[in-house]
Structure 1
Amino acid sequence: MANRPLPIDPLAEARRQWIAHGWTDAADGMAVVTSVMRAQQLLLARVDAALKPFRLTFARYEVLRLLAFSRAGSLPLSSVVARLQVHPTSLSSTADRLVRDGLVLREPHPHDGRAALLTLTPAGRELADTATRALNEQVFARPGISSHDASDLVSIVARLRKNAGDFADPRPTPDPL
Structure 2
Amino acid sequence: MDQPLPRDPIAEAQRNWQRRGWEQQAAPMAAVTAIMRTQQLLMLRIEGVLRPFALTFARYELLTLLAFTRRGELPMSRASSLLQVHPTSVTNAVDRLQAAGLVDRAPHPMDRRTTLVRLTPDGRDLARRATDALNRDVFSDTGFEADDVEHLIRILARFRQQAGDFAAE
TM-score by length of 2: 0.97
Q: Distance in 2 between matches of 1:136 and 1:115?
A: 34
Provide the secondary structure at the position in 2 that maps to 1:71.
coil
RMSD of aligned residue pairs (Cα, Å): 0.9
Q: Distance in 1 between matches of 2:5 and 2:154?
A: 29
In structure 2, the partner of 1:33 is 32
In structure 2, the partner of 1:144 is 143
Q: Distance in 2 between matches of 1:29 and 1:5?
A: 24
In structure 1, the partner of 2:11 is 12
Of 20-29 and 38-47, the range deviating more from structure 2: 20-29
TM-score by length of 1: 0.93
Once the two structures are TM-superposed, the CA of residue 7 in structure 1 deviates from its matched residue by 2.1
Q: Structure 1 vs Structure 2: percent identity of aligned residues?
A: 53
Once the two structures are TM-superposed, the CA of residue 143 in structure 1 deviates from its matched residue by 0.5
Provide the secondary structure at the position in 2 that maps to 1:4.
coil
Q: Distance in 2 between matches of 1:121 and 1:15?
A: 49
RCO higher in structure (CA 8 A, sep ≥6): 1
Listed as ranges, the matches of 1:91-170 within 5 Å are 91-170=90-169
Once the two structures are TM-superposed, the CA of residue 4 in structure 1 deviates from its matched residue by 2.3
Unpaired runs of 5+ in structure 1? 171-177
| Letter matched to residue 104 of structure 1 | V
Once the two structures are TM-superposed, the CA of residue 73 in structure 1 deviates from its matched residue by 0.6
In structure 1, the partner of 2:72 is 73
Provide the secondary structure at the position in 2 that maps to 1:119.
strand
In structure 2, the partner of 1:175 is none
Once the two structures are TM-superposed, the CA of residue 5 in structure 1 deviates from its matched residue by 2.1
User: Segments of 4+ in structure 1 off by > 4 A?
Assistant: none
- Say yes or no: does 1:44 pair with 2:57: no
Aligned residue-pair number? 169
Q: Distance in 2 between matches of 1:114 and 1:28?
A: 49
Provide the secondary structure at the position in 2 that maps to 1:105.
strand
- Say yes or no: does 1:89 pair with 2:74: no
